[in-house]
Structure 1
Amino acid sequence: MPSVDGMTTTYAGATAAPAPARRFLRQLGVDTQYVLLGFPIGLITLVLCMTGFALGIGTVVIWIGVPIMVATLFMSRGFAVVERARIAPVLGREVTHPVYRTARTSGFWRRSMAPLGDGQAWLDMVHGIFRFIPSTIGFSFVITWWACAIGGLTYPLWDWTLPHPESNNELPELLGFDDNAFTRILFYVVIGLIFSATLYPVVRMAALLEAAFGYSLLNGVDRLRREVAQANAARDVAQEQRAAAVSAEAVALRKLERDIHDGPQQRLVRLAMDLGRAEQQFTTDPDAARATVAEALSQTRETLDELRALSRGIAPPILVDRGLRAALTALAGRCTIPVDLDAPPLDRLDPSIESTAYFVVAEALTNVAKHSHATEVQVSVQRNDTGLLVTVADDGVGGASLAKGHGLAGLDDRVRAAGGVLAVVSADGEGTRLTAALPI
């Protein structure tokens, strides 16, 4: 049945899934009626399209031919719409209705003349003129095979109605068979069985010949356009993902540089100063030197802790060794706000997808701890047929945004770089719900 999707109308073929025998008979019936109806329709379209085309060309010098040609193109479009609906069950697939060219202005004459500049409209007329060729070929084969199959199998029922004079040179006699009723009937029944056995492939090939001819003219250009549009869309998505990856990498590097500068680097500078002071104190005040060294050791431990925290943000070992669920469990345990984690056991995913999912939860929990004033966080990780769904929801003050300049902009870039989509619902005073859909 027709269905509208954007700018295209789709004619769907058979959707039921009957038993093999029923499907076989149904396809045979579909192909037979398609070819048998195609022959008279082909005759009608040949006469009408040829007449309209000839009149249009012949009277174009006095301008009468222009509206005649437009009317012929519109008529061809109508026959094309009918043919697309007939082709779908034969090919067993969707046959799209192409978008015809329309005038961008609102003038009546410009809109009326639009088909003259539409390539698909001319292809519809070409199909209306030349479809008679495959229709005639297919009709001849289908009529012949059905007639021979039915006539041969039913020959015993009507043999008695035919005259059989002794001098009649029938086909069995020409082939060397005896001229008696039993041999004659058996011969024609065998002929009927042969044509019945080959009926389906012959009818199927005849229908496919006519349907393929129609599909190539009525949908070939549209299919090529859609393939080009899909290729362009895929290219645009790839470019967006590449740009998002570059942006996410730049943000991650700036954040790492800032964290190192504000944390471990400052501590290492202080550590160097403390050790230098301790070196000078060893000769004058050993007790003060030991205190300075003890403080330096404390600074060293704190620096190591910060470096470990930074390394966990880049690529935590537990994620690599034990998978996403274990890494998220450890992440939830370190959060300063109670976390309700719903993460069932998962098979190992692509490392980039696992890393992105971990980064989404880690960044979201960090933002919750810093800005949300929430009392509880719910983290859910679910896998379905299409991908991985990661959700982080809190009961904080809300107000989060994916706009540039906000903390989640870099997270959005990272998710898009992995081919996913990030959505945030964060009304003021109603908490924040962050959802990331990642492909697998």
Structure 2
Amino acid sequence: MTTTYAEAAVTPAPRARILRQIGIDTQYVLVGFPIGILTISLLSALFWTGVGTVIIWVGLPILLATMYVARGFAVLERARIGPVFGRRLQHPFYKKPKDDTFFRRVFTPLSDGQSWLDLVHGLFRFIPSTISFAFVVTWWAGALGGLTWGLWGWSVPNGPDDQDLPELLGFDGSYGTKVAFYLAVGVFFAGTLFWVLRGAALLEAYFARGLLCGVNELREQVAQAEAGRELAQQQKAAAVSAEATALRKLERDIHDGPQQRLVRLAMDLGRAEQQFATDPEAARATVAEALSQTRETLDELRALSRGIAPPILVDRGLQAALTALAGRCTVPVDLDAPSIERLAPAVESTAYFVVAEALTNVAKHSQATEVQVSVQRIATGLMVTVFDDGVGGASLAKGHGLAGLDDRVRAAGGVLAVDSPVGGGTRLTAALPI
């Protein structure tokens, strides 16, 4: 992961940013050229001396010293290329010895791939460095020299056979023509200065980044991909678990409620059928009782349907659905749910079920006298908080009532936290991405 450099609270104007970047790119290339000469001179001498004397074992410590010198130059270069890209590059992974023996610790760099990449960069960095240096010096000289030629050009002595560039290109030799020509040249170099400097700096910086940070960045990308795959698998498992828990709860609720009433209804209607011939009054009473059972069954089915897909949530949104939930709760609810734009159905559904399950648990187990429900839209998503002043002791552990809710939240990519000390009430917080 990369870290952006700290900047001013107010974003600088485009002109200020361009001037700042010109300064960064210029100093990077101009300073990099002598560093490149020093690096190749020192590393070449050490490396080829070590290779030439390795047969008599003297070359091994020389090669080892070469690796450490190359690593030092690499650390310096990573610090230098950070401002060019506008972010600090992380230190790469270097191979560590598997044990603490002297030879392992001393000679591990010779078997480390990143150490060899540092050496390759040190030996060949002069190529992009020289190219970039030539462009930067040429463009700065053209811009400054052309724009200021009129101030000092008259002092340049010319012999009788000497000709200036304007004369060679067919312009007349008057001083005014020369000033105009060099001014135009200066304007051209100044107008293209930013882009040329930027390209020259990036040429050298990308070469360094590829060798000094490329393997580490590739390793981080692989790690992030693995983490994303693992997170996706966890969300899938959580979704399956939440679905299974919801189905078991629905099956239990249907079995304990509507199914029992329907069985009784069938028995009552059968009894009424037998009573019509012998006792019509008793039959009418039985039918009336069956009608009452039918209404109660319909009420229970409506309640169960609200738990599956509440129509008010689909039609009117999260705020209206939570208001209806708070009105049905047997414990007084202080609801703070400002009106927000419609979110993804999965996010709204998850937020609704978090509050619904929390209020159900409060009514059944908490012995609370008040519940506070808060739903806030934050920069990263939706924050849902439910706090009661009950007996506490709630947990997300398997076997507790909130375990299935935790699976539902994780399936939506969110995080559920419970703070419930015994006797201190319960605070349930769900953070959902949007």
- TM-score w.r.t. structure 1 length? 0.92
Structure 1 match to 2:251? 257
Could you tell me which runs of 5 or more consecutive residues in structure 1 were left unpaired when the two chains were aligned.
1-7
2:28 alignment counterpart: 34
Question: Matched residue of 1:393: which SS?
Answer: strand
Query: Is the 2:114–2:212 contact (alpha carbons within 8 Å) kept by the matching residues of 1?
Result: yes
Q: Which of 214, 235, 249 is 2:229 aligned to?
A: 235
The more displaced of 410-419 and 211-220 is 211-220
In structure 2, relative to structure 1, the CA distance for the partners of 1:343 and 1:282 (3 Å cut) is same
User: For 1:12 and 1:83, how far apart are their aligned partners in 2?
Assistant: 18
Asked if the contact 1:14–1:92 (Cα under 8 Å) also holds between the matched residues in 2, the reply is no
Cα distance 1:193–1:315, how it changes in 2: closer, same or farther (>3 A)? closer
Structure 1 counterpart of 2:347, which letter? I
Classify 1:113/1:365 alpha carbon distance in 2 versus 1 (closer, same or farther; 3 Å). Answer: same
Are the counterparts in 2 of residues 12 and 88 from structure 1 also a CA contact under 8 Å?
A: no
1:139 partnered with 2:124: no
The verdict on how the C-alpha distance between 1:179 and 1:275 changes in structure 2, with shifts beyond 3 A counting, is closer
Question: CA offsets per residue over residues 187-238 of structure 1, 9 Å max, x none?
Answer: 4444334333333322222112111111111122211111111111111111
Q: 2:279 aligns with which of 279, 285, 291?
A: 285
Provide the residue aligned with 2:118 in structure 1: 124
Deviates more, 1:142-151 or 1:183-192: 183-192
Contact 1:28 1:200 (8 Å CA) reproduced: yes
Partner of 1:154, secondary structure, is helix
Aligned identity (percent) is 71
Equivalent position to 2:74, from 76, 80, 84 = 80
Matched, 1:317 2:316: no
Does structure 1 residue 115 correspond to structure 2 residue 109?
yes
Match of 1:423?
A: 417
Matches within 5 A, 1:18-57: 18-57=12-51
Summarize the alignment of residues 350-369 of structure 1 with structure 2, pairs less than 5 Å apart: 350-369=344-363
Map of 1:16-415 to 2, 5 A cutoff? 16=8, 17-415=11-409
1:88 Cα deviation from its structure 2 partner: 1.9
Q: Quick check: 2:79–2:88 contact (8 Å CA) kept in 1?
A: no
* Partner secondary structure for residue 389 of structure 1: strand
User: In 2 relative to 1, CA 429–104 (structure 1 residues): closer, same or farther, beyond 3 Å?
Assistant: farther
Distance in 1, matches of 2:344 and 2:186, equals 61
1:326–1:168 CA distance, 2 compared to 1 (3 A): closer
Q: What does residue 7 of structure 2 align with?
A: 15
Partner of 2:194, secondary structure, is helix
1:26: Cα distance to partner?
A: 2.0
Q: What stretches of structure 2 of length at least 5 have no aligned partner?
A: none
Contact preservation (8 Å) 2:29, 2:136:
yes
How far the C-alpha of 1:333 sits from its partner, in A, is: 1.0
Q: Secondary structure at the match of 2:90?
A: strand
* Alpha carbons of structure 1 residues 14 and 203: separation in structure 2 relative to 1, 3 Å: farther
Larger CA deviation: 344-353 vs 99-108? 99-108
Change (3 A) 1:178 1:321: closer
1:377-406 Cα offsets, whole Å, 9 max, x none, are 111111111111111111111111101111
Number of the residue aligned with 1:4: none
CA distance in 1, matches of 2:26, 2:358: 63
Cα distance in 2 between the residues matched to 1:223 and 1:290: 81
Task: Give TM-score, length-normalised by structure 2.
Answer: 0.94
> 8 Å contact 1:30–1:89 — kept in the other structure?
yes
Q: Distance in 2 between matches of 1:230 and 1:137?
A: 36
Render the CA deviation track for 1:228-267: whole Å, top value 9, x for unaligned: 1111111111110000000000001011111111111111
After the TM superposition, which parts of structure 1 deviate over 6 Å for at least 4 consecutive aligned residues? none
State the 1:183 CA deviation. Answer: 4.2
Q: Against the structure 1 CA distance between its residues 271 and 70, is the aligned structure 2 distance closer, same or farther, given a 3 Å change threshold? A: same
Q: CA deviation at 1:97?
A: 2.2
TM-aligned CA deviation for residue 99 of structure 1: 2.4
Q: Mean Cα displacement is larger for which, 103-112 or 287-296?
A: 103-112
Per the TM alignment, residue 13 of structure 1 is displaced from its structure 2 partner at its CA by 4.8
Check 1:260–1:189 CA distance in 2 against 1; reply closer, same or farther (3 A cut): closer
Structure 2 Cα separation of the partners of residues 143 and 323 of structure 1: 64
C-alpha distance in 1 between matches for 2:258 and 2:226: 47
